[in-house]
Amino acid sequence: MTTLSVVIPMFNETAVIPALVARLRPVLDALGVDYEVVAVDDGSRDDTVSVLFDHGRDWPQLRVLRLRRNSGHQAALTAGLHRAIGRWVVSLDADLQDPPETIAEMLRVAREDGVDVVYGVRADRSTDTVFKRNTARGYYWLMRRIVGGDLPAQAGDFRLLSRDVIEVLRRLPERAPVYRLLVPSLGFPSAEVRYDRAARAAGETKYPLRRMVALAWESTANFSAAPLRLATWLGMSSFLLCLALIVFGMVAHVSGTTIPGWTSMFVAVLLLSGVQLVCLGLLGEYVGRIYATVQNRPAFHVGFDSLDEMPATETVAKFDDDSRTPNFGPAVSAHG
C-alpha cells in the first residue's frame, strides 16, 4: 500500500497550480515514502486539467481525478478521499493558504503519538480580512455548541487521516458530508499541528459569502435538529400569544371597551401567517433532505481517473464545456 495520499480539490485553479507543484513536490519527495497526489478537478471551466497533465509528464505520482460537472468542494473532497489508496491521507486546498510543509509534521505526529487524525489548526489568521476572521470565529463558536467540545477551533479541511478513518467515512451514508464536523464526531484519537495561515498564492477565492453561508447551513442541518425545535418554539409562542389575545378580547368585550376590528385582525393574521411560513420553510428543508436521501443519487460522477485509465482526446473534450480544451493525447503518457 502507498504510504501517503494527498487529496487536493480544485476548481478553476490554473493560476495557482505551478506554485502548488513547486512547493508540494519537494516536501513529499523529502519524506522518503511512497506517495500519490490526487488532484480532483471539480468540473473546472479553465485549463486546470491541461496544466495538471503537463506537470504529470515529469511527476508520475500526480494523479488526476476529474468529475463530470461542478459538484462542490465537499463532494470533490469526498471523491478524492474515497479513491485515495494511501495508508495516510492528507486533504489540502490548492490555494497554498495551508502550507504543504506542515504535512511532514502531521505524518510525524501521527506515527509517534499513535493517533488516527491530525488536524491542521490555524494559529494566525492575520492574512484574512476582519470580516472573514469574525465570521469564522462565529462559525466555530456555533458548531462547537452543536457538535460538542471535541471540535477543534480554527480547523478547516487541512488534516491527516489514517486508513481506518477513511474506511469508516466510505461506509457512512452521508450524502453531503461536512468533514470538519463529521471527522471529530467519529471519536478517533487525534492531535493538532498549528501553523500560520498565509494569503492565497494566486487566483480568486472559491468561497465567497454565499458559499460560507451555505456551509454554515449545511453544518447546522446535518448535525442538529435545532431549526426544527425553533419551529416548535415559534408555534408554541404563537399559540400562547393567541390565548392572551383571546383573553384580552373577552375582557374588553365585558368592560364595553371598543376595539378596532380591522387592526386586531390585520395584526393577528400577519403574525400567525409569518410564524406558519417560517415553520413550514424549516420543515420543508428537512423534508427535502429526506427526499434527496431516498433518491440516493450520487453526489458526484467521476469522468476519469488517470490511475485507472488513459482518457482519450475526444473523451476529455466531451467533459469540458470550454472550447479551449487542449489535446491531451501526448500529455497522458505519465500518470500516477
Residue 190 reports pLDDT greater than 70: yes
The pLDDT confidence band at residue 148, using thresholds 50, 70 and 90, is low
Give the orientation angle of helix 17-30 with respect to helix 102-113, to 10 degrees: 40
The pLDDT confidence band at residue 280, using thresholds 50, 70 and 90, is confident
Q: pLDDT above 70 covers what percent of the chain?
A: 63
Q: What is the mean pLDDT of residues 111-136?
A: 80
Q: What is the mean pLDDT of residues 306-332?
A: 46
Q: Are 67 and 43 in contact (CB under 8 A)?
A: yes
For cell 480532483, what's the residue? 40
Residues 6 or more apart in contact with residue 114 via CB below 8 angstroms: 189
- The pLDDT of residue 309 is 62
SS (H, E, C) 250-299: HHHHHHCCCCCHHHHHHHHHHHHHHHHHHHHHHHHHHHHHHHHHHHCCCC
φ/ψ of residue 152, rounded to 5: -65, 135
Q: What is the mean pLDDT of residues 319-330?
A: 40
Calpha distance 148→142 (Å, rounded): 10
Q: What is the mean pLDDT of residues 202-227?
A: 66
Q: Are 272 and 240 in contact (CB under 8 A)?
A: no
Select from 121, 30, 48 the least CA-distant residue to 303: 48
